[in-house]
Amino acid sequence: MKISTDKSRRSFLSNGGKVMTLPFLGSLLSSTDQAAAEEKLAQNPVSRLLWMAIGHGHMEEHFYPKGTGKLNGMKLPPGWSPLQKNLTHMTMISNFSNMQNKQPHDGSEALLTCANVVGFPGKSRHNSISCDQIAAAHLGQNNRYESLQLNCPKKGEGNGHGGVAISYRKDGSPLPGFDSPLQVFHKLFGGNISKEEQLKALKAKRSIFDIMKFESGTSKKVLNKEDAEKLDEYTSSIRDIELAISREKLWVDVPYPKATVPAPKGNLSGEASIRIMFKMIIAAYQTDATRVITYRMPDAELLKSMGFSSSPHTLSHYGNSSVRHKLNLERTKKWMQLYSYFIDLLRSSKDPLDPNGRTIYDKTLAYLGGGLRTAHRTENVPCLLTGGGFKGLKHGSHRKAAKENTPLANLWLTMMKDAGAPVKNFADSNGTVRSIFNA
Task: Give residue-wise pLDDT tens across range 87-141.
Answer: 999 999 999 999 888 777 778 899 999 998 886 655 666 789 999 999 999 999 8
Taking CA 365 as the corner, what is the angle to CA 414 and CA 398, rounded to the nearest 5 degrees? 75
pLDDT-derived band at 46, boundaries 50, 70, 90? confident
B/e letters for 51-71, b = 16+ CB within 10 Å, e = fewer, are bbbbbbbbbeebbbeeeeeeb
pLDDT at residue 311 above 70? yes
Contact call for residues 108 and 378 (beta carbons, < 8 A): no
pLDDT tens digits, one per residue of 376-395:
888 999 999 999 999 999 99
Percentage of the chain with pLDDT > 70? 74
Other CB atoms within a 10 A radius of the CB of residue 15 amount to: 9
pLDDT of residue 86: 98
pLDDT of residue 192: 61
pLDDT at residue 314 above 80? yes
Per the rule left: phi > 0, alpha: psi between -120 and 50, beta: everything else, 378 is alpha
pLDDT at residue 44 above 70? no
Contact call for residues 373 and 403 (beta carbons, < 8 A): no
User: Where is average pLDDT lowest: 34-38, 74-78, 330-334, 353-357?
Assistant: 34-38
pLDDT tens digits, one per residue of 206-239:
555 554 454 545 444 555 655 555 555 555 556 6
For the residues 20-24, what does the mean pLDDT come to?
39
92, 56, 111, 95: which is closest to 318 by C-alpha? 56
pLDDT-derived band at 14, boundaries 50, 70, 90? very low
Question: H or E segment at 94?
Answer: strand 90-94
Percentage of the chain with pLDDT > 90? 59
pLDDT tens digits, one per residue of 47-57:
999 999 998 89
β-bridge partners, 383: 369
Per residue, the 3-state secondary structure of 56-67, as one string, reads CCCCHHHHCCCC
Contact call for residues 412 and 105 (beta carbons, < 8 A): no
- Dist CA 262 CA 273 (whole Å): 14
Contact call for residues 171 and 113 (beta carbons, < 8 A): no
For the residues 24-53, what does the mean pLDDT come to?
64
Contact call for residues 389 and 89 (beta carbons, < 8 A): no
pLDDT of residue 153: 74
| 76-81 long-range Cβ contacts below 8 angstroms, 24+ apart | 78/329, 78/333, 79/329, 79/332, 79/333, 79/336, 80/336, 81/333, 81/336
- Dist CA 67 CA 84 (whole Å): 17
Largest CA distance in the chain: 73
What pTM was estimated for this model as a whole? 0.83
pLDDT of residue 206: 54
- Dist CA 63 CA 332 (whole Å): 7
pLDDT of residue 211: 47
What's the chain's average pLDDT?
83
pLDDT at residue 288 above 80? yes
More confident residue, 357 or 6: 357
More confident residue, 250 or 346: 346
pLDDT of residue 197: 60
User: Where is average pLDDT lowest: 74-83, 110-119, 337-346, 415-424?
Assistant: 110-119
Contact call for residues 60 and 325 (beta carbons, < 8 A): no
Contact call for residues 231 and 223 (beta carbons, < 8 A): yes
- End-to-end alpha carbon distance in the chain: 43
CA dihedral 250, 167, 391, 290 (to 10 degrees): -20
For the residues 423-438, what does the mean pLDDT come to?
95
